[in-house]
Structure 1
Amino acid sequence: MAKLNQIIAVEKGVKTKSFQELTDAHQRVQKGALLSGISRTYQPKDEEGEQLPSESTRVQVKGEEVLRTVAATLTRLFDVTGTKDWANCEARADVVVDGAPLVRDVPVSYLLFLEKQLVDVHTFVRKLPVLDAAETWTLDPSTDSWRTEPVRTVRTKKVPRNHVKAEATEHHPAQVEMYFEDIAAGYWTTVKFSGALPARRVNELVDRVEKLQQAVKFAREEANGSDVTDRRIGDAVFGYILGNGQGG
């Protein structure tokens, strides 16, 4: 008995071949010359008349034969795809993480959906903002965010001062230069807050998502290994379409 993964493996090739043969059949029946034939003979008016050879052209493409060929090709496609789709309705597996089932009896179609969604979740989690490693952070319950320890810094202000470069003399005034001196005016106490996540937490989330991704892939492979029942859809479909097979 065939497995679902075997049917999936051959379906693409069957689709490609069916499309090519259907296209070829369509092109052939559009060529009127291939569908036409003729046979004619010549008989002179009397025995002494000129004898001419007979002429004939055979019909190269016959509509009913093309129909049967197309039906046979598409019957294979219909059967393979039907077998796969019916099996997909029945193929199931558990998603097992750390030896315990996380979700039971998951259909293979949902496993495919989950596998694709987890790629986006993985990208999202990897790009989560991380707390600045240069700071020491503690969780502040009152704000439900992270905070640093208070840091005290001096606030300064500039005060003008005079610098006497030369004392006054009997003949010259004093030479004075003004400059500004920074003096302490007060103190800033700064506490930083952040809604980012610790690197440890982000790494933990990434590990969990990756572990779940592996579990979903294993479950999909298990489901795809299920036995399938061959479905004969094409005969019923084309038996109805072609009727008695002879047209009018």
Structure 2
Amino acid sequence: MTKLNQILAVEKGVKAGSQRAVTDAYHVIQKAPLLSGLSRTYQPIDDEGEQLPPESTRVQVKAEQVLADVAKAMIRLFDVTATKDWTNTVAKADVVVDGQALIEGAPVTYLLFLEKQLVDLHTFISKLPTLDPAETWTFDDNAETWRTEPVKTTRTKKVPRNHVLAEATDKHPAQVQVFTEDIVVGYWTKTAFSGALPARRVNELLARVQKLQDAVKFAREEANGAAVEDRQVGDAVFTYLFA
């Protein structure tokens, strides 16, 4: 018995073949000479006149045959697509994570939606900011953010000083060298805060998304294994259209 995944495998080829047939037919019917033919004979006015051979051109393209060819190609597409879409309404599977059904009876179309969303979500989570690993962080329940331990540093001020190189005499002034000295005038106590996440938290989230992605893929494969009932709707459609 045919499975849904087999129908999906041939659908692309059938669609391409149908489009090619329609395109070819469109180009053929635009070539007026291919649809035209003639037959003519010549008869002189008397027996002494010149005899000329008959001429004829065969019609190479018949519009009705083109319609038949288009219908044949599209009927196959209509039937394959109908078979797929009808089966999609009953092809379902559970999304199972760690032995538990996270989503029960999910149809194939929803599983495909989930796959795309989870790819985007995985990308988003991978870009989340993480805490600087060079710091030690603890969670501050009051501020609801992460914080470092307070670090105390000094604040200094440059104060000019004089260094006497030589005392003054009655003949020479004192020789003095001016320099500055850093004097502690206060203390800074710094605590850093961050709204980023620990790297381990981001890795846990990525692992969960990956696990769910795998579960959705397994569910889709299971749903696509559903048996199909061939739907033949194309013949009725084109019998009505081209009759």
TM bucket (normalised to shorter chain) is over 0.9
1:124 aligns with 2:115: no
Q: How far apart are the structure 1 equivalents of 2:43 and 2:89?
A: 71
Q: What's the CA shift string for 1:31-71, capped at 9, x where partnerless?
A: 11111111112223233332221111111111111111110
3-state DSSP of counterpart to 1:53? coil
Output the aligned Cα RMSD. Answer: 1.1
Deviation at 1:226, TM superposition (A): 1.1
Q: How far apart are the structure 1 equivalents of 2:8 and 2:228?
A: 11
Q: What's the CA shift string for 1:53-104, capped at 9, x where partnerless?
A: 1111111111111111110011111111111111122211111111111101
One-letter code of the match for 1:218? F
Q: How far apart are the structure 2 equivalents of 1:201 and 1:236?
A: 58
Structure-2 residue corresponding to 1:216 = 216
One-letter code of the match for 1:63? A
Matches within 5 A, 1:1-248: 1-243=1-243
TM-score by length of 1: 0.95
Identity %: 69
How many residue pairs end up in the alignment? 243
One-letter code of the match for 1:139? F
Q: How far apart are the structure 2 equivalents of 1:45 and 1:134?
A: 113
One-letter code of the match for 1:138? T
Q: How far apart are the structure 2 equivalents of 1:190 and 1:156?
A: 16
Deviation at 1:149, TM superposition (A): 1.2
One-letter code of the match for 1:37? G
Deviation at 1:135, TM superposition (A): 1.1
Query: Which segments of 5 or more consecutive residues in structure 2 lack a partner in the other structure?
Result: none
